[in-house]
């Protein structure tokens, strides 16, 4: 809402302030479209949750996750993007300008870039949240390196669990996969590679009931679902791969999505409604990296610029 009590009318509204959203804002700002970014509750997105990011180009010594978010924000603002600490709660995409209701007011947007990201599914057990970034991780490519010669546990039984587990064997001294069922869901070839790997071992029919540790992960409390037996398993880290949930619920019924809720886009980041673009993990269940999300954000803003230019003709 602006000072007259009317909805703010903007050319480009960006939902989300992760790498995708802030990169989209940078590109839209440099195209002089004065984009507004609604940050959501996590300024900087998931990347801001991690202590250090070592695989974003341009930072040979690595960069703090929160620091990278601040740099993205500063660069977008430098060119005129407006970053609002607000969260969208409702959208009406039935006609342009699109209507977006946020906690702090209403927006009318000539084009919309959705970069609300995805959240890794959590175990929801004591200790998990407190020790995230201190031994609890949801990203092997990001954090595997920190577990050089350490004991690591993987939780999950699908492709990502085994794929990421195999990746971590490059660093860790041992990788134990804990799965709640008696068999993996992962593809047979991955199962063969994992079971034949000398560093990997497996515990089936078992769930984690607590992540134990003071400053960092020290152990997991486990429960065997068949016998009910409880044990404590010492480990330096636990990687959780039990799926992701994209933050796209508010677009349900208005945009095409896949069966997991990822927004369907074409190779120009355009969603199923003209003028709506999606970037980063809201639309990408595969790559899930800062660099790929930022790239999609930039592409979405370039396409939003072309879209608005075509409307003006
Ligand atoms: C612990 C951890 C460590 C990681 N380490 C690395 C690493 O080292 N290297 C790497 O490349 N990748 C890493 N990743 C992955 C990387 O962070 C993500 O791929 C990337 O952040 C995805 O960017 P995104 O902009 O698509 O979404 P996100 O980063 O998920 O950002 C989503 C944004 O949308 C906002 N939002 C959500 N709902 C709303 C709403 N309703 N209204 C407005 N805003 C909303 C959120 O507040 C957030 O700002 C890591 C992930 C985690 C969890």
Q: Please, which residues bridge with residue 38 across strands?
A: 15, 84
- CB of 135 closer than 6 A to ligand 1? no
- Give the CA distances from residue 41 to residues 45, 88, 117, 282, in Å, rounded to whole numbers and listed in that order: 9, 10, 12, 16
The full 3-state SS of 178-196, as one line of letters, equals ECCCCCCCCCHHHHHHHHH
Residue 42 CA to ligand 1 centre (angstroms): 8
Distance from the CA of 49 to the center of ligand 1, in angstroms?
A: 8
Q: CATH topology for 122-240? A: FAD/NAD(P)-binding domain (3.50.50)
Predicted confidence band at 2 (pLDDT cuts at 50, 70, 90)?
Answer: low
Active site residue 142: yes
pLDDT at 46: 87
Is 118:246 a contact under the CB 8 Å cutoff?
yes
CA-proximal residue: ligand 1, atom 35 (nearest):
16
Full-model pTM: 0.84
Q: What is the pLDDT of residues 291-301, one digit of tens each?
A: 999 999 999 99
Active site residue 159: no
Active site residue 229: no
pLDDT band at 108 (very low <50, low <70, confident <90, very high): very high
Sequence spans of domains, the chain: 8-119+244-312, 122-240
CB 40 less than 6 A from any atom of ligand 1: yes
Residues contacting residue 68 through CB under 8 Å, at least 6 positions apart = 19, 44, 47, 48, 53, 56, 59, 290
Atom of ligand 1 nearest to the CA of 56: 11
Question: Residue 237 corresponds to which tokens in the numbers above?
Answer: 């880290």
Q: What is the CATH number of domain 8-119+244-312?
A: 3.50.50.60
Catalytic residue among 110, 139, 236, 284: 139
Q: How far is the CA of 204 from the centre of ligand 1 (A)?
A: 31
Q: Say what the pLDDT of residue 5 is.
A: 65
pLDDT tens digits for 122-171? 999 999 999 999 999 988 878 999 999 999 999 999 988 998 899 999 99
Tens-place pLDDT, residues 209-267: 999 999 999 999 999 999 999 999 999 999 999 988 999 999 999 999 999 999 999 99
Same fold, 8-119+244-312 and 122-240: yes
Rg (CA), the chain: 21
Cis peptide preceding 209, ω within 30 of 0: no
Q: Is the pLDDT of residue 85 over 90?
A: yes
């Amino acid at each position: 809402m602006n000072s007259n009590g009317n909805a703010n009318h903007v050319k480009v509204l960006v939902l989300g302030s992760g790498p995708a959203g802030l990169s989209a804002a940078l590109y839209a700002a440099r195209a002089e479209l004065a984009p507004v970014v609604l940050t959501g509750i996590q300024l900087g997105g998931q990347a801001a949750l991690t202590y250090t990011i070592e695989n974003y180009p341009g930072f040979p010594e690595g960069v703090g996750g929160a620091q990278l978010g601040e740099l993205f924000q500063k660069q977008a603002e430098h060119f005129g993007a407006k970053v609002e600490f607000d969260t969208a709660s409702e959208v009406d995409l039935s006609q342009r300008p699109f209507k977006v209701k946020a906690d702090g007011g209403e927006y009318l947007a000539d084009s919309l870039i959705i970069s609300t990201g995805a959240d890794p599914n959590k175990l929801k057990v004591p200790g998990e949240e407190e020790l995230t970034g201190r031994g609890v991780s949801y990203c092997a490519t990001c954090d595997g390196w920190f577990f050089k010669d350490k004991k690591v546990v993987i939780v999950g039984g699908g492709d990502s669990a085994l794929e990421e587990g195999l990746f971590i064997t490059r660093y860790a001294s041992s990788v134990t996969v804990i799965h709640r069922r008696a068999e993996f869901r992962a593809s047979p070839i991955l199962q063969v590679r994992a079971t034949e790997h000398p560093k990997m071992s497996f515990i089936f029919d078992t769930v984690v009931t607590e992540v134990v540790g003071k400053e960092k992960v020290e152990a997991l409390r486990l429960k065997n679902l068949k016998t009910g037996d409880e044990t404590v398993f010492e480990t330096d880290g636990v990687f959780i791969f039990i799926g992701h949930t994209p933050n796209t619920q508010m677009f349900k019924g208005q945009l095409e999505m896949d069966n997991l809720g990822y927004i369907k886009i074409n190779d120009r980041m355009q969603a199923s409604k003209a003028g709506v673009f999606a970037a980063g993990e809201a639309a990408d269940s595969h790559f899930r990296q800062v660099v790929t999300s930022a790239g999609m954000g930039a592409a979405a803003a370039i396409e939003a610029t072309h879209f608005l230019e075509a409307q003006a003709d």
